[in-house]
Chains A and B, each alone.
Chain A
Amino acid sequence: MLKVDNINVYYGAIHAIQGISFDVKEGEIVTLIGANGAGKSTILKTISGLLRSKTGQITFMDKDISAAMPHKLLPMGISHVPEGRRIFQRMTVEENLDMGGYIRNNKENAALVESVYERFPRLKERRRQIAGTLSGGEQQMLAIGRALMASPKLVMLDEPSMGLAPLLVNQIFDIIQELNKSGVTILLVEQNARMALRIAHRGYVLESGRISLADSAQNLLSDPNVQRAYLGGN
């Protein structure tokens, strides 16, 4: 479904992504794990068109999206929940959801907002609240809910567990799994490698801009090197 082929991304002189290739198949949960600064967010931003690769190609459902404008990707079915949630702090919860459904018309939106509220009753209670005053967990729910407003085929999540209490982390991961079961393909970037590998089908390990390991999630979980570096050893 998504194919990333030999991308190289630079920030000025910094060579952040050094020849990375990977793919995500329809219906999968694929996770990218790696330490701080490995380049995980950079990869997602490149897929979204916020950054450009100097080489290679990115294709989505057999269409070349390497040069697509960022706002063209959501209509194609790719939704990106960026690192740090990036909800619109000064807008209300419902306005944030409306923005998520910007590419649809109002009638479709109303139905979708209801389905998001069904999934996240907490958001419904707070529909008129200014989003910046939501708790961290609620903001993450809003960010995911907002991404679902466009009924995407592929959702890319950048560290959805960041800054959340363990109970909420579990809840967020349950939601991701449910989403996947309902047919949405997931590309998940996580620091919390253990949780990510538990729900993922496959995983890639990223080290300073390169992929060092690619395997099924199960194999990665039991790999001694991965355990030492990313799972806190045992």
Chain B
Amino acid sequence: MTLIYQLINGLQIGSIYALVALGYSMVYGIVRLINFAHGEIIMVGAYCVWFCMSRLALPALPAVAITVIVCAVLGVSIERIAYKPLRKSARISLLITAIGVSFLLQNLAQLIFTANPRMFTNLFTGSIAIGTQEISAATVATIGVSVVLMIALSVLVNKTRIGKAMRAVSEDADAAQLMGINVNSVISFTFAIGSALAAIAAVLYCCSYSQISPTMGSMLGLKAFVAAVLGGIGSIPGAMTGGLCIGIAESLTKGYISSQLSDAVVFGILIVVLLIKPTGIFGRGDHQKV
């Protein structure tokens, strides 16, 4: 029973990693950039939903909707303002800019909301008993919402016109332009979707771990990034699988070895992946084309 309990908890945090990892992976697939500011979108999302609910006293649904929109707009704006002018420059300039944006957002949050953590009230109350253990409704909701979102994303990418355009741009942006695809719109759309998923991840995260702080996005973002690398960065099924694997590894370590070691295990996995199969589980290893 404890094993099942640990696995379910692993799936819960794993689905959050997966939602965030999708943002890293989709953006990498399209512009070949590790968007280090992506973790901060989670933080902004968390503050936004908290602000809407505790300060503006909005009901949950509109608050979440506003959060999704705010994060999507923020993601698109970051790309337009900070990354787009550098699209033709060296990769390293882009990477440093992403790190800069991340610091900027963190410090802005600290300025506006101070470093004192805010408390978020769980949207999902109650729990389900499994044997002697209890699974919270938030856990069940997190897994459920994530599964639905991942299915929706798969349909979007594989079946719709804009989804196919995303795949085309990620494979060969010049050829895609020759097909009449507006690459700038596709890039914006990708940032919007990735950030919207991060917003949902933020809300789900806050339901289980109520503290909101300016630095909350760093660790979460970093782990999701490890998940994206584990799955094969640029790959959508990879991000999903990687997220779940990291979540379960973390939860099993906490349950059977030690809570203190769980972070070490996550980054240990990163090192092992980079040593053994740098392209990750679903990686194709053909991203180095000129």
Contact = CB atoms under 8 A, between A and B. Distances in A.
Interface of A: 48-50, 69-75, 79-80, 82, 86-91, 95, 98-100, 102-103, 106, 146, 150
Given A98-B164, A99-B164, A89 B179 contact: no
A217 B165 CA distance: 39
A82 to B, nearest CB: 6
B168 interface: yes
A72 B176 CA distance: 12
Q: Which of A50, A73, A79, A102 has the most CB of B within 10 A?
A: A102
B134 interface: no
B174 A99 contact: no
Contacts of A75: 180
B180 A102 contact: yes
B183 interface: yes
Nearest to B161: A102
Contact of A90 (B171, B174, B182): B171
A90 B178 contact: no
B180 A88 contact: no
B182 A99 contact: no
Given A88-B172, A102-B161, A70 B167 contact: no
B2 interface: no
Contact of A89 (B164, B171, B174, B181): B171
Contacts of B174: 50, 70, 82, 86
B32 to A, nearest CB: 16
A98 B171 CA distance: 15
A99 B172 contact: no
Contacts of B167: 88, 90-91, 95
Nearest to B284: A90
Given A99-B164, A99-B176, A88 B181 contact: no
Contact of B178 (A74, A91, A95, A106): A74
Nearest to B158: A95
B179 to A, nearest CB: 5
B264 interface: no
Given A99-B164, A102-B161, A91 B171 contact: yes
Contacts of A71: 177-183
B179 A99 contact: yes
B177 A91 contact: no
A89 B171 CA distance: 8
A86 B171 CA distance: 10
Contacts of A146: 179
Contacts of A80: 178
Contacts of A102: 161, 165, 179-181
A73 to B, nearest CB: 8
Given A95-B164, A99-B165, A86 B172 contact: yes
Q: Which of B161, B174, B175 has the most CB of A within 10 A?
A: B175
Given A71-B180, A71-B182, A89-B171, 18 more contacts: A49-B177, A69-B177, A69-B182, A71-B181, A72-B180, A73-B180, A74-B178, A75-B180, A86-B175, A87-B175, A91-B164, A91-B168, A91-B171, A99-B165, A102-B181, A103-B179, A103-B180, A150-B179
Contacts of A100: 179
Contacts of B181: 71, 99, 102
A50 B177 contact: yes
Contacts of B161: 98, 102, 106
A95 B72 CA distance: 28
Contacts of B182: 69, 71
Contacts of B164: 91, 95, 98-99
